Structures are given as structure tokens and as C-alpha cells.
Structure 1
Amino acid sequence: MNESQVQPQPPADGEGLDELRLPPLLLGTFTPKIDAKGRMALPAKFRGMLGRGVVLARGQERCVYLLPIGEFRRMAMQVQRASVGDKATRDYLRVFLSGACDEVPDKQGRVLVPQLLRDYADLGEDIVVIGVGTRAEIWNRTAWQRYLGEKEQGYSDIENDVLPAVEF
């Protein structure tokens, strides 16, 4: 068996098995710039977790979702399983998928943010990239600061509703 045929083995004690099955966990806040050609440098912390490519798509609250390809496929399949007879499902699929595009980072770790998505989220040069678990979001910096300012008090108020079973 040559090196290319060797399969990675989980640790013998079972530790690390969850990491082998779970999608990447994208966390943190970053402030890259969008250059004149519409390219954004992916946060260095995310590059290894995103694999060989990403999908950019319209997100809620006028941000752009940045998803590992596997996570995008999982989300798209989940939505497509919903009833096509449901108007809300059709509407969501049309908006979500029609603006989605797959991108492969260049050697400098940059991806093109298409003009359609830059217009949708009002993205200029100053942006914020936030990790939101299995996806990242790209925000207009001013819009993100306003959103965060509006939501911070509510964050404290809804903790028990959102995290009822989690103990800290």
C-alpha cells in the first residue's frame, strides 16, 4: 500500500471521533477588505476549514453567507426536501439558490464576491466576516455594527429561550 492509499485512522481511545464527523466550526470576527476587483481574503483561520472551495449566497438580514461546499449542499438538500407545493419553500429556494455561486480561493486565499451579492448586502471596501458555526457571514461593516448594537441587549434577554438545555 503506498502513501496515497493510507486512510487516516481515528485515535484508538475514541477521542477525536466527533471532529471526524462534524462540519467545520467557523468562529470569530474578522475585518478583511474587498479589493477593486471584488475579491476578499478569507480569514486565515478559516482557510483550512473551508476545503477546496466555498459557496457564497444571499443570507438573511442582507448579509452574504459563506459556506463550505459540503454545508451548502446539506442546506440545499434539506430545503429541497420540503414540499415544493409550499409557496414559502419555493420562494426561499428561488432567492437562495439563484444568487449562489461557488468559488475556489486563489493562491493568496482570496475569493471573488460577485457583484450581485455585493449589491445585495451593500458591500463596499469595509466589511466584517463573522463565524456563525457551520457558516460565515459577510456584512457591510456599518450594517453589522448597527445590527450588533440593536441585538446585544436582546442577546442577554433570550438566553433561557434559545439555550434551555445547555448548562454553562
Structure 2
Amino acid sequence: MITRAQDRCLAIWPVATFIEQTQALRNAPSSSKQVRDYQRMLASGASDETPDKQGRITIPPHLRAYAGLDKDCVVVGAMNRVEVWDAAAWQSYSDEQETAFAEMNDEVFPGL
């Protein structure tokens, strides 16, 4: 499954992992506007893509447009998913996050 993610990137999961990750979202109260908005944004962009014989997938045009994928891309492993970023957007995001990442300690992530 490939869909839009926060920060104007795309997230790619195996179908089973996507279902597992979104279980809580499916069970969330639809009476909450915030829940409905998130469900709509995530689900409306989701596309079940099947890899070809060489393991490649097609990124639908609406998702390429959302993430600004025109030319150079960066593929980032993000624990339980793969993210696809426009190269310039990734560089900007990475530069902004570097200081915060370097300052994270046991108070934020005990045992790391």
C-alpha cells in the first residue's frame, strides 16, 4: 500500500502491515472531526500497488503530485514503512531535524 503521509512524503507498507497500522484508526470514533479528517486524508490517497517482475511499483499521479515527485527522489527506511520524498524536501527536513535528533536522550527514548 502506498499513500500520502505527513510532511508531504509518501508512505509504503506491505498490505498486512498497513491493515495492522490502521486498525486503531478504523476503530476510532467517527464522531470526532479530527478522526474523520485523518481517515479521509489517509484512505483517499491509498493505492494498492503490485510490484512488477523486477520488484518495481508505480506511483499514481495524484500521489506524485502530493509529494512533489518530479525528478530526484529519496527513499527512506522509517521502521515499519518506507517513505519516498522529493530530494530537496528531504534535505530541508533532514537539516531541520538534525539538531533535535542529536539532542534526544534517555528522557525521550529510555534505553536508546
Smaller-chain TM-score range? over 0.9
Corresponding residue number in structure 1 for 2:13: 67
Corresponding residue number in structure 2 for 1:133: 79
For residue 125 of structure 1, report the CA deviation from its aligned partner: 2.3
For residue 75 of structure 1, report the CA deviation from its aligned partner: 1.9
Residue 56 (str. 1) matches residue 14 (str. 2): no
Amino acid at match of 2:74: V
Secondary structure, counterpart of 1:65 in structure 2: strand
Corresponding residue number in structure 1 for 2:25: 79
Corresponding residue number in structure 2 for 1:46: none
- RMSD in angstroms over aligned alpha carbons? 1.1
For residue 161 of structure 1, report the CA deviation from its aligned partner: 3.7
Question: Normalising by structure 1, what TM-score?
Answer: 0.64
Distance 1:161 1:140 in 2: 32
Distance 1:82 1:95 in 2: 15
Q: Percent identity?
A: 39
Matches for 1:14-163 after TM superposition, within 5 Å: 55-163=1-109
Gaps of 5+ in 2: none
Corresponding residue number in structure 2 for 1:19: none
Gaps of 5+ in 1: 1-54
Question: Normalising by structure 2, what TM-score?
Answer: 0.94
Please list every run of at least 4 consecutive aligned residues from structure 1 whose deviation after the TM superposition is greater than 3 angstroms. Answer: none
For residue 71 of structure 1, report the CA deviation from its aligned partner: 1.1
For residue 124 of structure 1, report the CA deviation from its aligned partner: 1.5
Distance 1:138 1:162 in 2: 26
Amino acid at match of 1:66: I
Distance 1:138 1:159 in 2: 27
